[in-house]
Amino acid sequence: MKPVYLVDGKRTPQVKAGAELKDIAAPYLGHYLIRHLVDKYALPLDQIDEVIVGNTGTPAKYPNVGRVIALEAGLHKKTSGYSVHRNCASGMEALSQAYDKIASGRNDLIFAGGVESMSQMPLLYNKEMTNFFVELMKAKSTAQKLKVFSTFRPNFLAPIIAIEQGLTDPFCGRNMGQTAETLARELGISRREQDEFANMSHHKAAAATKEGRFREEILPITAGNKLDKMIADDLGFRANSTVEGLGKLKPYFEKETGTVTVGNACPITDGGSMWLLASEEAVKKYNLEPMARMMDYHFHGLEPERMGLGPVLATHGVLKRTGLKMSDINLFELNEAFAAQVLACQKVMKDKSLSSRWGIEETIGELPLEKLNVNGGGIALGHPVGSTGARLVVTLAHELKRRKEKYGLATLCIGGGQGGAVIIENLKV
């Protein structure tokens, strides 16, 4: 297998759905990132082999987001582009496919990442309203149309919320928040612990933003009806967050006995992220100076109702593939879908009696807070589903470079009962 280099990674600001990025369609959260990197490295437009983009809420208007992004970015028409869908890890899946293609010698230059406009995920007509429209279109005469109109009932207008359905697992019937409740209950994770973790995430993100630690990874974007707003920072974290304030919020997913709230869970978010990956030959040919090397990746499945523990299994797998130990890793990015889920992963990783339930016969190791999500995580920064898997690697690589540390591990849980993980080596030590 040939080495695979992460030349440069950029992302959009991440903004809560329905806010400043709500009018920007998914492809336009990615195309300008590619355009920037092409210009920055003076890459010939006809020398990019592939564009691979993670996306979960495929817009009807843009059925293959990856190809649309490639063309909108101005790449040559011969550059192929496609979209991938692995729920929360779609962006990481894009990176893994780019890795395989370059490592095998098939490709030399690939853009891979993810985009998601959760603001623009649609409301759908229910079955009754759909049938009503079908019958109306079949009606030929005025009398036939009037007969169809007479069957209309107000409940036909009750919408199906696409994002709500997408966040509910069809196999176990539980939504993502309920799976977090399962872990909190089974592993004895209290409401107070969850709120303290969430509060810490907000304050880390606020400090990182104030100190400009995201400046190198965020590429500002213009927004607004007249494109008169420049968004340069993540919008959504709460700098004034307190544990006491979070404690006042009511459980959202299990109203009577739950501990998971909108305050200790990630918000619905818009955003995009993109990496330029290159082979050793391309690095030499175009005089590139890669940030990092992508060492390997691993995906692993488990029961959907405990999907939040996916990072445990994926981390164990990628460590075995690379021959590294938890103690070798300098920084971790673990997506904060829910505070309960991250805390559950910490518990299982360090407890052999717990990890053995999922076939891991050794202790994986400590996931120390001082190395974990040092600039805040999904609870504060948000979780634009199709993008997050790549965004974690963008943030990780930039922070490794800033700290001059060597190894980083990015991991996340995946709706449907999976986990994904990637290990990278910083080349800017």
The CA R_g of the chain, rounded to the nearest whole Å, is 22
Write the CA distances from 55 to 83, 122, 415, integer angstroms.
7, 15, 14
Clarify whether 413 is annotated catalytic: yes
| List 202, 298, 300, 383, catalytic entry | 383
Tokens of 352: 């052999």
Run of H or E residues at 272: strand 269-278
Residues 6+ apart with CB under 8 A from 344: 183, 184, 187, 189, 308, 309
Please state, as a whole number, how many other Cβ atoms lie within 10 Å of the Cβ of residue 42.
8
| List 88, 202, 298, 345, catalytic entry | 88
| CA atoms of 59 and 116, how far apart (whole Å) | 10
Tokens of 378: 């999904």
Tokens of 28: 């336009």
| Residue pair 111/94 in contact by the 8 Å Cβ criterion | no
Run of H or E residues at 266: none
Write the CA distances from 397 to 206, 392, 420, integer angstroms.
20, 9, 17
Beta bridge partners of 426: 292
DSSP string, 90-154: HHHHHHHHHHHHHHTTS-SEEEEEEEEEGGGPPEE--HHHHHHHHHHHH--SHHHHHHHHTT--G
Tokens of 276: 């330029």
Clarify whether 345 is annotated catalytic: no
| DSSP label of 224 | S
| List 203, 266, 300, 413, catalytic entry | 413
| CA atoms of 60 and 65, how far apart (whole Å) | 10
Cα dihedral sign, 311-312-316-322: positive
Phi, psi of 335 (to 5 degrees): -60, 130
Clarify whether 88 is annotated catalytic: yes
Tokens of 156: 């036909």
**Hey, which residues are catalytic here?**
88, 383, 413
